[in-house]
Amino acid sequence: MTLDEKVGQMVQVDMPALHDKADVQTYFLGSMLSGGDSDPSDNHSQTWSQAVNEYQAWALKTRLKIPLLYGIDAVHGHNNIDGAVIFPHNIGLGATHNPKLVEKAARVTAEEVAGTGIHWAFAPCIAVAQDIRWGRTYESFSDDPDLVSLLGVAQMRGFQTPLAGGFTVLACPKHFLGDGGTKRGVDQGNTVCDEATMRKMYLAPYRAVVAEGAKSIMVSYSSWNGSKMHGNRHLLTDVLKGELGFKGFLISDWAAIDQLTPSAPSYKKDIEISINAGLDMVMIPYGPDKKNNYVEFINDLKELVATERVPQARVDDAVRRILRVKMEIGLFEHPNAAPGLLSKIGSKKHREVARQCVRESLVVLKNEHNVLPLSKKIKNLAVIGKAADDMGRQCGGWTVCWQGKSGTVTHGGTTLLSAIKKTVSSGTKVTYSADGENLVGADAVVVVVGELPYAEKKGDRRELSLEETDAALIAKAKAVGVPVVTIIYSGRPLVLGNALDQSTALVAAWLPGTEGAGMADVLFGDCKPTGKLPRPWPASNEELNSADFAPNGAKPLFPSGFGLTFDSGTKH
C-alpha cells in the first residue's frame, strides 16, 4: 500500500462533511459515519440503503478495492432511521438484569442496521456512570461494573454474531476510559481517581469485552486526572493493547482530538499526539470548507510521517488493525446491504422483542393497596400528562435526531395512551388531557410525567427534581381522591419530592422506546413486573454529590436491586 492508501484507511468522515462523493475514491477513505443528525433528506430505510451502497461503490473503485466501513450510533435500536424499532435505553435494559434479552435486542438492531448496508454500530456504551447528573447516564446499564460487564458483553455478542448470509455488524464498546466517573457528572469532564480505582471501576467492562472478542473501541472525550484520554498512551497502548491484548482498532470520538492542544491549538500536533498514543482511526465531522477537516488531516499526517514525528511503523500498525477487522467481519465478501433484511426494519417480530424489553425494564417503586394491576374492566380511567401520548418523550435522546425531540419523532410503535386504549375492555371509558382537566368521575388516574428528551452535554443537570409542572399534575390527581398511578419517563432516577407520597403506585419506566404496549402489559396484569433498580434512587438533590448517596450516613430512597411484585407488594 502507498502512504496515501494507508492514511486514507485511518480517516472516518461524517456524511454531510464529504465535499464530493468521489472523495471516497480520491482519498482512499476507509470509513464514513452518520452522526446524530447526519441523515439523508428522505429518512427512509430504502434511502439509507441506497446512499450507503453508493458510497461503498466509490470505495470499490480504488486500486485495492478496500471496502468502506460505515458507522452509526445505533445505541437503542437503529435509532437514526424513521420507522425503525426503538428499544429502551441502556438504563432500562440494566433494570432487566437479563443478558439473554439484551443480546436478543442487539441482534434485532444488528438486523435493522444491516438492512441499510451499515456494518458498524457505535455500541455498547459500557460506561459505569456514577453521578446521575451526567446527561449520558441513560446510556449506562448501571453504576455496578459487574452488571455493566455482563450486559455489555451480551450486547456486543448480539451485534457481532454473523447474520444469515455472513453479513456481520461490528460492535464498538465505548467510551474508553472513565467517562462515567467525571467529577460532578460533567460531560467530557475529568475523572479524578488513582489507577487502582480506574481499573476496578471503569476498566473491568473493557477487560470483559476484549476477552469476548471486541474488535473496535471508541475513546472517551473525558480526562483522567487532567490528562485527555485521546492522548493517553499508557491506557490506550500499554494497558488496552498491551496488557489486555486488544487486537482491534481504536476510533476517536467526534472531533475529539481537536481538544488535545487547548492552550495553543495545533491540529497537526493533535494528530501527532493522538496517533502516537495509540489511536488508529479519527472521526472527522468537517469538510474542506472548515478547519480541522479530513483533507487537512490527511496532508498533516503524511507530513508527520515524512518528518518522522509519527513513525511509519505506527501507521502500519493502525492500518493493519483496521484491515484485519474488515477481513474478520467479512466486509470484503459482503460490502453492500444484506439481502432480505431491509424488509425487517420495524417489523412486528422485531417490535415484539422490544415490547418484552419494556415489560422487563419497568420497576415498580410503590404499589399501595395493590392498586396495580389495574382492571381492564375499570369504568372510567383518566390519563393525564403530555408524555402519555408523546412518542418523542417516550423514546428520549438519540432518536432520529441527536438530542431527540417531543412529538412524532418516528413512525411506528405505540404510545402509552394508545396502548391503554387497546388494552382495556370495550366498556371502559378512557379520557385524556395533557393538563388534567378530565378528572371528574374518574375511578383511577394514570399520570405520565418525566424528562424532556436530551443527549450528551445538554442533558447535564445540576439538580434532578421532578419538574414543578409534573409535581403539580400529580398533586392535582391526588386531590380527586381516587387511586393515582404515576409513570415516570426519565434517563436516570429523579428526586421525587412529594410525588411518591401523593401517588398510590409509582413506576419507573425509564426511556422505554417505541413499544408502549409493553407498559400496558404490566399495568393491566398481562405480565408481572420483574424489573429491579440498576442503581440507587436518591431521596434528595443534596445526596447527589456522593456516588453512593451516603453523605453523613444518609441512605438512598430506594437501594439498587429494589423492585416490587404484584403478588405481595414486596421486593423481588
Which residues are catalytic, by number? 253, 456
Phi, psi of 51 (to 5 degrees): -65, -45
Cβ proximity of 178 and 199 under 8 Å: no
Structural contact between residues 283 and 254, judged by C-beta atoms closer than 8 angstroms: yes
Grid cell in block for residue 433: 388531557
43-47 contact pairs (CB < 8 A, 24+)? 43/80, 43/81, 43/82, 43/400, 44/81, 44/82, 44/83, 45/81, 45/82, 45/83, 45/84, 45/112, 45/115, 45/116, 45/342, 45/345, 45/346, 46/342
Measure the CA dihedral 508/509/511/513, to 10°. Answer: 180
Q: Which of 427, 426, 338, 420 is nearest to 383 (CA)?
A: 420
Cell of 520: 400496558
Pairing of strands 223-224, 227-228: antiparallel
| Cβ neighbours for 553, distance < 8 A, ≥ 6 positions apart | none
Q: What's the CA gap between 199 and 219, in Å, rounded? A: 16
Cα(18)–Cα(217) distance, integer angstroms:
24
Closest CA to 512 of 67, 91, 66: 91
Helix 99-115 to helix 348-361 angle (10° resolution) is 150
Whole-angstrom distance between the N-terminal and C-terminal Cα of the chain?
59
Structure-block grid coordinates of residue 177: 476510559
- What sign does the CA torsion over 514, 140, 52, 248 have? negative
Report yes or no: 13 and 29 within 8 Å, Cβ to Cβ.
Answer: yes
Q: From CA 74, how far away is CA 134, in angstroms rounded?
A: 20
> Three-state DSSP class for 505?
strand
Helical pair 312-328 and 267-277, crossing angle rounded to 10 deg: 70
How far is residue 139's CA from residue 125's CA, in Å, rounded to a whole number? 6
Residue of 425, 474, 482, 429 lying closest to 449 (CA atoms)? 474
CA 333 to chain centre: 29
SS3 sequence, 29-97? Answer: CCEEEECCCCCCCCCCHHHHHHHHHHHHHHHCCCCCCCCCEEEECCCCECCCCCCCCECCCHHHHHHHC
What is the rounded CA–CA span in Å between residue 453 and residue 165? 37
How far apart, in whole angstroms, are the C-alpha atoms of residue 171 and residue 159?
6
